Chains A and B, each alone.
Chain A
């Protein structure tokens, strides 16, 4: 027997059943997988922080290569010596600072409230790295990353990632040829905290000039690039007061 699918009652009933079925299916999938997903995201964060301080498995000029997930927790506790939360003028030790949602804290700062800003101090071969998380927006969606500095405010490494930048264009901010350009650049211009600009036409594609506060932009990704510049500038501004206390040059 064929069902009369044109009846209003049938349509409403079908819609209701469909919503319930699809809703519970999605809820079931999400709740049964959330543990694993959270763990993956935590590992990723640790990998990214370590990447910024140069603890990674990069070979030559190849692709970005993180510390493998099975050893990342050990490596993280080995290299990251201290974690802090900066709240106004207070600097509080907090061993779970890396789990703070930077997105929320940056939003707080924008509203004029006092944000709780995480900061990590890493140590490798006797050298100290100050690693700062960043959060901003690209062309389509969020971009974020980590920047590691030494006492002279010179960049030791960066890591960028994005949620939905255009593949092949803005999405390339997480490629090595872009991120490696930042290494050695200073965020200072004289005594002011300048940040680093992603600049079009700075006539320095090999980035030999490390004093100009500029790196070469990605073709076809102007807005993502501007987003990266703005993100660095904003982050440097937020952490400025703390950075002044550790700066030695």
Chain B
């Protein structure tokens, strides 16, 4: 017997491609612009969002029958904020170094529209297990785009990957720089992320015309 039924597998694979939260639903763009200048930051953000989204989805799903619909958005916000703060405090006490790396992401996680979006669209109407899978799937779809964007921005903007120089030294003029190559300073400022995301959307839609909306 397969570990996951076909329907459950789709919960994970759909958001990776044809229902990607960033390129198709255009959610979570703000953090995709803010922190993708480096591959490492992209990866940290992706993992953090995965944790919060999966946990939050489960909590909301367990509470789905008792949450008053009038104040459900506030309840969702409280759940995600509480989760993030508890995680932050525990890290500060037991993994101080890691918590310092993550500190700047905390605010960005709470306000990430993917999280509220999945609570609202999925967890409120589905059971905990399926909500958990949905959380994992969507954060993987989100993380995938973040890593792609981070890869190109760090490579073209700083000539490094994970902080390690891969194209030579721009000051000493070694490697590629010796034949006149220059880092593109534009790539490390946020608008560049918009362009990279735009190119990903373009590639994705030309490969799958079904995604293109009729006007």
- Which A positions have Cβ atoms within 8 angstroms of B? 2-3, 5-6, 10-11, 14-15, 18, 22, 25-26, 29-30, 33, 36-37, 40, 43-44, 69, 163-169, 171, 205-206, 219-220
Contact = CB atoms under 8 A, between A and B. Distances in A.
Q: Which 5 pairs, one residue from A and one from B, show the smallest C-beta to C-beta distance?
A: A168-B37, A168-B38, A167-B41, A36-B93, A11-B68
Contacts of A36: 93-94
Contacts of A3: 65-66
A12 to B, nearest CB: 9
B148 interface: no
Contacts of B94: 36
Chain B: interface size category: 20 to 34
Contacts, number: 88
B185 A44 contact: no
B75 interface: yes
B35 A168 contact: yes
A212 B92 CA distance: 40
B82 A205 contact: no
A206 B92 contact: no
Contacts of A5: 65-69
Interface in B52-68: 65-68
Contacts of A167: 34-35, 37-38, 41, 104-105
B89 A29 contact: yes
B207 interface: no
B68 A6 contact: yes
B96 interface: yes
B171 A206 contact: yes
Given A22-B82, A164-B103, 8 more contacts: A5-B65, A11-B68, A15-B71, A26-B85, A168-B41, A168-B154, A169-B189, A220-B188
Contacts of B89: 29-30, 33, 37
